[in-house]
Amino acid sequence: MEALIRDAVPTDLDALEELEKECFSLPWTREQLQSELPDERHEFLTAELDGDVVGYVGMMCVLDEGYISNVAVSPRFRRQGIGRALVAEMLRRAEGRQLTFVTLEVRAHNDGAIALYSQAGFAPVGRRRNYYERPREDAILMTLFFNKEEKER
């Protein structure tokens, strides 16, 4: 069954909080999640299966730049293309907003996520030392440029 990718809405906040706890060692608060809900500066998508939110992706837009905050898929539903579908739809929306690039950070040892982002067109552009806590780990900064001239810089 294919997940329904849709805008997050306030009634999703309980499910989003649970996903945060399942997926991250330092989960975001309900207030932080609520501040990311769709508006003129934010895109926030959920993946829904049989009425349950099983994943999400958020992006903040500043001028012509996009910053993906989090990508989360419930461990029970990983490796089913849900993360790929979320990222693909977010990138479609980024192009619709005519963003120059989208960037994100990923744990240096998260090989699955790095592969997902690489397949989506992101490339490593830097490293942030000791960016993550619990456990302490570097972040790989990855960016996807939509503009051909930016890619060649």
**Whole-angstrom distance, CA of residue 66 vs CA of residue 76:** 29
**Whole-angstrom distance, CA of residue 87 vs CA of residue 113:** 11
Name the residues annotated as catalytic: 105, 117
**Sheet strands side by side (includes 123-132):** 4-7, 42-49, 52-62, 65-73, 101-107, 137-145, 123-132
